[in-house]
Amino acid sequence: MSRRQTRRQFLQHTTTAAAASAVLPYWFSSQRSLADDAARNPSERLRLGCIGTGDRWKAVGPDAMRFATCVAVCDVDANHAAEGQRIARERNEKAGYQEQQVDVYEDYQKVLERDDVDIVTIVTPDHWHSKIAIEALQAGKDVYCEKPLTLTINEGKQIIKVLRETGRVFQVGTQQRTEMGQRFLGAIAILRAGRIGEVKRVVCDIGGAPTCGPIPVADVPEGLNWEKWQGQAPLKEFRFKPTDSKWGNSRCHYEFRWWYEYSGGKLTDWGAHHVDIATWAIGMSESGPTSIEGLMVEHPVPLVNGMPTEDDRYNTASKFDIQVLYPNGVEMHIVSHSPQGNGILFEGTDGSFHVSRGDMKDIVGTAVADVLNKTNPLPEGAIEAVYGKKVPGSHMENFIQCVRDRSLPISDVYSHHRAMTTCHLANIAIRLGRRIEWDPVAEQIVGDPEANQWLGREQRKGYEINVTI
């Protein structure tokens, strides 16, 4: 695949695969298991390095080990690393590779230096994703990285530049593109078939972020390298307060999502899923919005010039209604609450429907019912046409297949960058408290030099991303 190839160019040169079996519901496809192939033929197994082995990795890592033999795990929390090593050894033994050593590292660069590592999974906190991914590409590795891929818009530009230069394969972990019964692909196919007419409005309900009271300074847990965990972010004291939840209130591990220092709150957490699907559905995966405005927003702490004024409690937006306008005339709202609940509402001139991880249902009209009941099924091959080839059996399986044939994964960096740009712009707008005008071609904020500085952020010395854009 050409290093300068875009998603559109790839899809234009990809033939549509055969239609899914008529005896299965339209959102399923069947294909030979690559995991079975790898198990039967040891030469088919790749060598895997796992960077970040916390809670989320326990799903991603073992999934990757269906196709690859793990040779190294890495985490700045020694407890996570030890657990990752144990799981990797068990998986290797189950696959018949019990003699394979699984080395443990605190420094991810040690994994990238290994010549025997073909692919890496990156399952770290958000603020570490881009730097590790870029250096993995430069080290000649193919990459599977959890969402959201970036902390800023400029990080997305940096990753795309390096991806084009290296020609590696990169799958983003936005599993809604393949899993959940493939109903999100089905929703896109319904729109493309014109079943609700022209799409006019989209509502992405991503839920609100939690709030909390003051979190006291606490001792850093044994085994955790707190300085290294913070990476590019400003150095802060470790804070923790036990609660009924597994993680308590904290600046670390799962709870990092609710701090602007490390993430973008719900807008980049669930927004990376629903805004991604919505952007794909309305045909804006190679473009972007023209304006973004927070119609309603609540933050747990006061902001001054967009920056939190208190550092002892969560600070990302807890409630919001953000209006996003696109050049094709579609109006999107990214909200923390809607009558339909978590999911995506598509409103067209001839009907509307709502899709979520749990179901897909008509709001006005019968587009969904007609397809599900096969009274007016989708055209043959409609689901496959959404991706451009046979729909993968799973997200990780799609990654492995693309590593082998060097094709573009279903969750590619190009489209993910565009969706995340919308999410990052939404955060800029609500943090600065004003409407943002965006040029999707130049990828610049228009007429607002102060806001334009928010496309990137200062990175702590020693943790910079050294890629010029």
pLDDT in tens, 195-215: 999 999 999 999 999 999 999
Q: pLDDT above 70 covers what percent of the chain?
A: 91
CB 423 within 8 A of CB 268: yes
Q: What does the alpha-carbon distance between residue 448 and residue 61 come to, in Å, rounded to a whole number?
A: 43
pLDDT of residue 232: 98
Q: For residue 43, name the pLDDT band (cuts at 50, 70, 90).
A: low
Edge to edge, the sheet with strand 103-105 lists 103-105, 68-74, 46-51, 119-122, 142-146, 170-173
pLDDT of residue 393: 84
User: Which range (16-25, 40-49, 268-277) has the least confidence?
Assistant: 16-25
Residue 363 gets the label, from left (phi > 0), alpha (psi -120 to 50) or beta, of alpha
Residue 410 has pLDDT above 60, yes or no: yes
Q: For residue 16, name the pLDDT band (cuts at 50, 70, 90).
A: very low
Query: Could you give the dihedral angle defined by the CA atoms of residues 356, 359, 362 and 363, in that order, rounded to the nearest 10 degrees?
Result: -50
Q: For residue 32, name the pLDDT band (cuts at 50, 70, 90).
A: very low
Q: What does the alpha-carbon distance between residue 392 and residue 402 come to, in Å, rounded to a whole number?
A: 10
Q: What is the mean pLDDT of residues 344-357?
A: 98
pLDDT in tens, 415-429: 999 999 999 999 999
pLDDT of residue 390: 87
Tokens 């080839």 sit on residue: 389
pLDDT of residue 98: 85
CB 81 within 8 A of CB 110: no
Q: What are phi and psi of 86, to 5 degrees?
A: -60, -45
Cβ burial of 128 (10 Å; 0-12, 13-18, 19+) is buried
Q: What does the alpha-carbon distance between residue 364 and residue 375 come to, in Å, rounded to a whole number?
A: 17
Residue 357 has pLDDT above 50, yes or no: yes
Q: What is the mean pLDDT of residues 166-179?
A: 96
pLDDT of residue 42: 59
Residue 451: strand pairing partners: none
CB 394 within 8 A of CB 247: no
Residue 157 has pLDDT above 70, yes or no: yes
- Pull the structure tokens for residue 305: 């010039």
pLDDT in tens, 89-147: 999 999 998 889 999 999 999 999 999 999 999 999 999 999 999 999 999 999 999 99
pLDDT in tens, 318-339: 999 999 999 999 999 999 999 9
pLDDT in tens, 297-310: 999 999 999 999 99
Residue 15 has pLDDT above 80, yes or no: no
pLDDT of residue 36: 55
Higher pLDDT, 330 or 5: 330
Higher pLDDT, 391 or 178: 178
